[in-house]
Structure 1
Amino acid sequence: MPHVIDHRGGVWSIAVPIPDNPLGHTLVHLLATDRGPVLIDTGWDDPDSWDSLTAGLEACGTAVTDLHGVLVTHHHPDHHGLSARVREASGAWIAMHAADAAVVRRTREAEPGSWLSYLIDKLTAAGAPEDHLAPLYAARAEGRTSALPENRPALPDREIVPGELLDLAGRRLRAIWTPGHTPGHVCLHLEEAHPAAHPGNGRLFSGDHLLPGISPHVGLYEDPDETLHADPSPSSRLRSSRGDPIGDYLDSLERIGRLGAAEVLPAHQHAFTGAAERVTELLAHHEERLSGLRALLRTERTPWQLAEAMEWNRPWERIPYGSRTIALSEAEAHLRRLVKRGLAEPVPGSDPVAYVAV
């Protein structure tokens, strides 16, 4: 049986599995409207995930062919993966913030191998060791530059405009731009009384921005074209004006904390109350993280060396190969925040560039 929860007031959640992922599933939300049901996110593009989504919709008393629209909180494949298949089955529109729509467009238009070359350059600049780079060099030399997936991510046909009420008949759902986890992440605020009369200001579909027990990954916004516009100096990547994901995330958290939502309906784990308290915890967590990194930078380190020295959920030597690249991106995002605050700076003449606290 599908894992479905009726949150009342025309809102349900459907657990759609993510294959081979410790998160287990994405909570796809279904919202009834006067023009037909609307999905908030769709889940991973996988046959079992599709079966779980369609069975969940049936358990909610509807069918995928009845869907009127899809609201995508952000472009990641566990949220946007099945959007194309939903649109094909139902004719539903797909809406997304413009910044994440641009990421989808770049992904669709990228030449095979461009992301691999970008990754090699990025890791080299960060000081990654040869044993981490070797498999990527070998893949490029042997022409194993994987082509784009057959089912490319769907281009949205509507834009989610921050601050505006969405065009959903009979519902008051307002978009709130919450960059950090991705440049175009949005939370969706249901400005209606809570069906159980919980105190507070409506309900919040928080995507990955606000989760009850974990902090979302916040790394540098990836853009293979950024080198075309950046300063050629080795420290340009962390001095870049093209984004400050940690700063964006902290600012976004504060905006969400001020909403006073009665209940949060996230895309992972479970629904919860106490949004403002959870925001305070996450703000403190990231400030502690930044303080810890600044302490590590009493000794000059490359971004890779900084990632190796940071505390993760397991020792560095037990972190899988691919996850080390993700960890590096998170370390660089925190390092960029320190640089922008004037609390760290590049060491002149270092190559790859190292950083030190100031």
Structure 2
Amino acid sequence: MMDADKALELVKSGATLLLLDVPQYTLIGIDTQVFSVGPAFKGIKMIPPGVHFVFYSSSTRDGKEFSPITGFFIDAGYSQVVVRMWDQQEERLIKVPEEEEERYRQAVRSFEFDKHLGPYDLSLYADWKRLSNYITKSTIEQLGFIEMDSCGCLRFQCSGISHVFHVALLMFKPIGGEITVTYEHGMLKNTCKSAMERVLDEQLRNSKFSSPAEKHPKRGCYYTPIPRIIKRKGIESEQLTSLNLDKASTELLETLLVKDYGGSEELLLGELQFAFIAFLMGQSLEAFMQWKSLVSLLLGCTEANHSSCQSTVCKLEELNA
């Protein structure tokens, strides 16, 4: 059992997730841990600084049925207090006004909420680090969150200010936001899917929780597009076919590393982990498709001649060990 002085030190140095007015029986998760909200629950304390994935699922009044999971990444600093309040109408966690948020932060630091905060289970932190060690704040900002309305405009939040750009004029990538399967069935129309994935997509489309496209803007993460074939000018068709059959994954990986990740294998692996966590904890179908594409690409690199490609594949094997 942890002594009182050590616990107090961890409470002061760790981050706190203050969650206000969350209904009883709601499931609240952080990383690999899940809490069932009771009448006194108001959040989680002693969270180690760094990247974390927060997710939740609202419940019926009797706690027998749950909505699809909604999640978001945070980059928690030392002693940081993250405040969210439950929106009863939308059944989701929302930010509070800055002035109000600062009052809550001071209350947390004065231990006014301490008895209502559940402790982060530090014995499980090592498991989380193995799942997320390549994800950084930059990863979250790069992959971000997209909202596209019916007129083809892209919306995102930056420093509390809403921005709208036409897709053709988009110059900046959006920052992080919510991940939920509720809005995803329309995103996968032009994606190659297996028979089981088509069944899942159909179930999602017909789910009572699925949000109609005309009611809500399209949402999604800014995942790196993974091409399935190599296109190259100036070579014979037979050579191109051979290239796609024998060396496709290696060529694509080498191209992606240079073009989309600036030669950084850590960025690629960060996106791989981001997608894995988003579908494992957040139950995102879009994230699953991205994770599958990246893993298929990496495992298909039988002729990874480039040293960075070899290193990336080796690190993937270490992650799976």
Normalization by structure 2: what TM-score?
0.27
The structure whose RCO (Cα within 8 Å, separation 6+) is larger is 2
Normalization by structure 1: what TM-score?
0.25
